[in-house]
Structure 1
Amino acid sequence: MASTPILVGEKQPVDIAVLPPLDVTRPPPQKTNAVFDALLQTYTAFQERRESLQLPQPGSVDNIAAEVQRSVFLTNQTFSGLRAELNKSFSIYPLFQISHAFSAGSQQLSPYTFLALYGTNSILAQAQLDSDASFSARFNARPHSRLTLKHSLQIQPSSGMSPGGAQLSVEQDYVGDDFTASLKSINPSILENGLTGMFIGSYLQAVTPRFSLGMEGVYQKPGGGMGPEAALSYAARYKGDDWIGSLQLLTQGGLQGSYWRRLTDKVETGVDVNLQFAGLSGAAMMGGARKEGTATLGAKYEFSRSIFRAQVDSQGKIGCLLDKSIVPPVRITFAGEMDHAKNSAKLGLAVSIEATGEELMEQQDRITPASPPF
């Protein structure tokens, strides 16, 4: 069907058929000035191009090597001596749980520890009190699906082995569709001639569906009239089909690389290499130049009712951890470590009992458990 021309004032007739369709859901922006319009058009075109790439969420710089450091390696999991834990859950949603832990023959663990945890889908509150009067607390909140607030407090009393002290950490994470921005401050204060403390800012951006780039800056100003110190690091992460590689480079000369690979559905391996160059690596922030390098190799095996982890490093240290579920409420953990360079060995055995009532077991079938912002 032929289109009908119309006259606009004294101008030439305009053909309606060639006019672009008007998107009523997104009307065109109002014209202001040439400079602002050019910037707005450039930004809009960039955002449309960015959305068309459908880039994934890359995680954060702090967790860029989490598959190796937290899943495969024995980081913060090894212990020595005997340990017994009694856990009692009162509710699934909201999540409410208390724990009593007893230990003996360990220099790192207190003889008795009491822990209480409360969590919903938007709030996590956790407190821990040891028999030596040390106290730690954590409070996480998720006011928005993209924003997470993390706060922690640690108080250590003075003793013959330690002068004691306190540490406050405040962290904010903003998670976008294809990036993560974080800001963390440790012991911030304005009482000592200006702003003091340590401040860490990081940003990780997905560049392609598999490759991400990021950077992290650290600014530290101690009290007592000391001058400020700063450091900058760069990070890269590549995710393959069944492997992940990450690399972090410090401007002072430090280099850390990690490689994680899933061999089978139940077997994972990881390699971590940390190099510190002489005269450069953190000389300002760590108290002097040093030259060292460490390589660590680890593996994780998941069986039907147990998990076994083992690792060995270039400094002659070998460690293993076996976590086995005997029956659903009883779990046994065995930890062993041997340091050939220091000619020392550590052994640990822990028994954990989960005291769950019948009412709570019935709730698990009809109530979705809470997923607090850990």
Structure 2
Amino acid sequence: MELEPKQQQQQQQQQQQQQQQAISDIITHNGAFGRLHDVYVTFQERREAIGLSNPGTIENIAKEVQRDVFLNNLSFSGLRAELTKAFSAAPMFQVSHSLSMGSQMQPPYAYTALYGSPKVFLQGNLDNDLQFSGRFNWRWTSALVSKASVQLTSQGNMVSLENDYTGSDFSASLKAVNPSILDGGITGMVMASYLQSVTPRLALGIDAFWTRPATAYPPELNVSYAARYKAADWMACGQIIPDRGVLEASYWRKLTERVETGINCNLAFAGIGPGGPMGGPQKEGQVTVGAKYDFRSSSFRAQIDNQGKVSCLLEKMIAQPIRVTFSGEIDHKTNAAKLGLAVSIDAADEAVMEQQERGAGMDAGSIPF
């Protein structure tokens, strides 16, 4: 008597499960494989018992100082106006128009479009000189994200490919900039980094940077080592590149609920390491101290370095959609000063605003930026 197709399928599934279980028993109970499996299981159990958390990435190892306190990437000069229009909150979709004058770093006009969902992130920027830059990020799993970016300008083109893996207690990244094999060899830049939590507060990492601008030049490899210690209200981190003789250290502290401060020290002993330039040892150093004050509807940042450069940035929310930013910088060494004023307007339809108020919009952390 023939079995029904459903019963045959069930028997095949049972046979496959029995075969997989037999193979697993052979691997886990057979000599060296069994010992390795036991060591791995014990190691995983101890990692989970310690309660380690993800330490972030080496690229953002000093984000509390470099991004939250300092204004190196926020300072500007001249007049700037930006109008942002949001069409949807879930998925996120918005466009913006930027106008600038009196600045050599910003184009007179730029148009930006942005789309974000839990799986994909897209951003494109086009200015009045037809210079284009774009980003495309794709989330394969909750831990693995692939990123691609391109810049097409009159000065040159750049392509970047990156893969980021965020584990429960570690982060790993592999990035390539302008990779090519058309010149008879591999050229471009390749960067790999790994940061691992070893205790609930301490993380150790390694970063490798390989570069070869052309086949006529020999490849160059620099390896740096990093450490990060994060407490409840302070953070200290450092990176060292032995071949270059470079040492960088940062310290951040939260003084009160609204006041943060940070210090960064960068020392370069050129000519001491094997990868340093010729001509004898040279010593260079830069120290920057900054502070950030958060008020109810405004934020003030200020910093000063040992080269005599003083900078400040004030952001003020005039109304819900209007934000005014003032930037100022005085360089006592070169006797130069820069001033900047920006007005930003964030507009959205009533349906989008109601969607955001109801909490229907996505969490920014779920978008693979």
TM-score, normalized by length of structure 1? 0.87
Query: What's the offset of the Cα at 1:364?
Result: 1.5
Equivalence for 1:271: 263
Counterpart position of 2:368: 373
Task: Return the index of the structure with the highest Cα Rg.
Answer: 1
Other-structure match for 2:98: 101
Hey, what does 1:117 align to over in structure 2? 114
Give the Cα separation in 2 of the matches to 1:67 and 1:282.
32
Change (3 A) 1:344 1:286: farther
Match of residue 203 from structure 1: 194
Report the Cα distance in structure 2 between the residues aligned to 1:287 and 1:75, rounded to whole angstroms.
Answer: 32
**Alpha-carbon deviation of 1:39?**
2.0
Contact 1:229 1:284 in 2 (8 A): no
Give secondary structure in 2 for the equivalent of 1:145. Answer: coil
Deviations 1:91-112 (A, max 9, x none): 1111111111111111111110
In the TM superposition, what whole-angstrom CA distance separates every residue of 1:164-183 from its partner, at most 9, and x where no partner exists?
Answer: 10111111111111111111
TM-aligned CA distance change 1:66 to 1:341, over 3 Å: same
Give the superposition deviation at 1:288: 10
2:339 corresponds to = 347
- 2-structure distance, mates of 1:137, 1:288: 43
Matched length: 343
Q: Secondary structure at the match of 2:46?
A: helix
Q: CA RMSD in A?
A: 2.1
Q: Is the 8 A contact 1:283 1:290 kept in 2?
A: no
Preserved CA contact (<8 Å) 1:281 1:290:
no
Q: 2:204 aligns with which of 204, 210, 213?
A: 213
Does the 8 Å CA contact 2:270/2:277 hold for their aligned counterparts? no
Per-residue deviation, 1:373? 1.3
Contact 2:329 2:339 in 1 (8 A): yes
1:54 partnered with 2:44: no
Moved more, 202-211 or 355-364: 355-364
Matches within 5 A, 1:274-353: 274-280=266-272, 283=275, 290-353=282-345
* Identical positions, percent: 52
Mapped contact 1:261–1:270 kept (Cα < 8 A): yes
Q: Following the alignment from structure 1 to structure 2, what is the Cα–Cα distance between the partners of residues 134 and 90?
A: 25
CA contact 1:282–1:288 (8 Å) conserved in 2: no
What residue number does 1:184 align with? 175
Question: What's the CA shift string for 1:147-205, capped at 9, x where partnerless?
Answer: 11121111111xxxxxx101111111111111111111111111111221110101000
Given that 1:92 and 1:367 are in contact with CA atoms closer than 8 Å, whether structure 2 keeps it comes out as: no
Distance 1:367 1:111, change over 3 A: same
1:197-251 C-alpha deviation (Å, 9 max, x unpaired): 1101010000001111000011112214211000000000001120000010112
Q: Greater CA deviation, 285-294 or 266-275?
A: 285-294
Alpha-carbon separation, structure 2, partners of 1:206 and 1:143:
24
Alignment of 1:128-277 (within 5 A): 128-157=125-154, 164-252=155-243, 253-277=245-269
Report the Cα distance in structure 1 between the residues aligned to 2:179 and 2:278, rounded to whole angstroms. Answer: 19
SS in 2 for 1:58: coil
The answer as to whether partners of 2:271 and 2:277 remain within 8 angstroms in 1 is no
- The structure with the largest helix share of the pair is 2
Q: Distance in 2 between matches of 1:238 and 1:178?
A: 14
State whether residues 200 and 219 of structure 1, in contact with CA within 8 Å, keep that contact through their aligned partners in structure 2. Answer: yes
Normalised TM-score (structure 2) = 0.89
**Residues 254, 282 of structure 1: 8 Å contact kept:** no
Instruction: Kindly provide the CA deviation profile for residues 263-292 of structure 1, in whole angstroms up to 9, marking residues without a partner as x.
Output: 111110000000001304695699997531
CA pair 282-61 structure 1, distance change in 2 beyond 3 A: farther
Q: Kindly indicate whether the alpha-carbon contact (under 8 Å) linking 1:173 and 1:182 is maintained by their aligned counterparts in 2.
A: yes
Contact 1:231 1:250 in 2 (8 A): yes
SS of the residue corresponding to residue 144 of structure 1 reads coil
Deviations 1:2-57 (A, max 9, x none): xxxxxxxxxxxxxxxxxxxxxxx9x9843564222222222222122222111111
Structure 2 alignment gaps of length 5 or more: 1-20
